[in-house]
Amino acid sequence: MQDDLQRILGYFPALRDKLDREAGTLSGGEQQMVAIGRGLMGRPKLLMIDEPSLGLAPNIVDRVMEIVKAINEDGTAVLLVEQDVVLALDIADRGYVLENGRIMISGPASDLRRDPAIRKAYLGV
């Protein structure tokens, strides 16, 4: 377990000096980091993350997304649910656009970013 904790603190060094604090006393970004870290403790093959950017300052969102990308690059598959389409497609390998619970469009994230219909409907471009 100590090895797992050190691995997770490698992703989230900002939490290293907060180990003696209750999660509820941490900032929103730190709480999001704790939640992701808890999910990683079991060494899952797939980590599902729902709206990691919700309510966080932009600089914290950027950091959390960098960490999510690193987790994936280190071998853990990540299923990311995110309403910020630009943010999600920037780090995703593949994207799925859902409407009313149905997959409307799917494909490589790079293709979805370039798709004129997606750009107009979801990216505001």
Lowest-confidence region among 34-43, 45-54, 74-83, 110-119: 110-119
Same domain, 71 and 95: no
Written as six digits, the tokens of 46 are 């797939």
* 62 lies in the same domain as 120: no
Instruction: For residue 46, list its beta bridge partners.
Output: 77
CATH for 73: 3.40.50.300
- Whether 71 and 97 share a structural domain: no
Same domain (yes/no): 104, 69: no
Give the distance between the most distant pair of CA atoms in the chain: 50
Same domain, 32 and 59: yes
18-66 confidence digits (pLDDT tens): 999 999 999 988 999 999 999 999 999 999 999 999 888 888 899 899 9
pTM of the entire structure?
Answer: 0.83
